[in-house]
């Protein structure tokens, strides 16, 4: 069993934007210790479709802003080789620590989130690596 979470934003006009997806892991039973970004427990699932279906219902009820949905995923007992099944177990209608971590990661890495798969793509062109090194060394000299 896995514990993926999906964080998304419901804009005032009803537009839904995926912020990030992560797999939470526990240090003790029911105590979250951290997360792996991006989530891997729901392979080949359309994260945008899941967020949109939940977000549209919330928007109809007047909810706008940050939302994080906690899920549990588990193998389908009738078809072990099929996609895992998942259930929503928690809904947080505010910016959670996990959503904030996704924003911070995006700020640091300057990559692109694929809203369909939930994967984060970082360009490692020689120019970008050189620029990151230059900025990093400049920041460390300022300390």
From the DSSP assignment, how many helices (H) and strands (E) are in the chain? 3, 7
Of 2, 4, 7, the C-alpha closest to 102 is 7
* Mean pLDDT calculated for residue range 7-17: 94
Average pLDDT over residues 6-18: 94
Q: What is the pTM of this model?
A: 0.76
**Do the Cβ atoms of 86 and 4 come closer than 8 Å?**
yes
User: How many domains does the structure of the chain reveal?
Assistant: 1
User: What is the predicted pLDDT for the residue at 16?
Assistant: 94
Percentage of residues of the chain with pLDDT beyond 70: 93
- The pLDDT-based confidence of 44 (bands split at 50, 70, 90) is low
Structural domain including 11 reads 3-142
Q: What is the token pair recorded at 58?
A: 């919330």
Q: What is the CATH number of the domain that holds 76?
A: 3.30.470
Q: Regarding predicted confidence, which is higher, 88 or 137?
A: 88
């Amino acid at each position: 069993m896995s514990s993926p979470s999906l964080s998304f934003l419901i804009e005032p006009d009803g537009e839904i934007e995926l912020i990030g997806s992560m797999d939470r892991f526990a240090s003790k039973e029911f105590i979250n210790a951290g997360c792996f970004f991006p989530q891997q427990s729901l392979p080949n699932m359309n994260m945008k479709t899941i967020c949109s279906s939940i977000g549209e219902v919330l928007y109809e009820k007047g909810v706008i802003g940050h939302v994080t949905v906690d899920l549990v995923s588990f193998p389908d007992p009738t078809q072990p080789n099929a996609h895992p099944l998942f259930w929503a177990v928690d809904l947080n209608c505010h910016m959670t620590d996990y959503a904030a971590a996704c924003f911070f990661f995006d700020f640091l890495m300057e990559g692109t989130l694929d809203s369909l798969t939930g994967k984060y793509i970082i360009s490692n062109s020689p120019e970008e690596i050189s620029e990151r090194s230059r900025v990093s060394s400049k920041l460390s000299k300022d300390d």
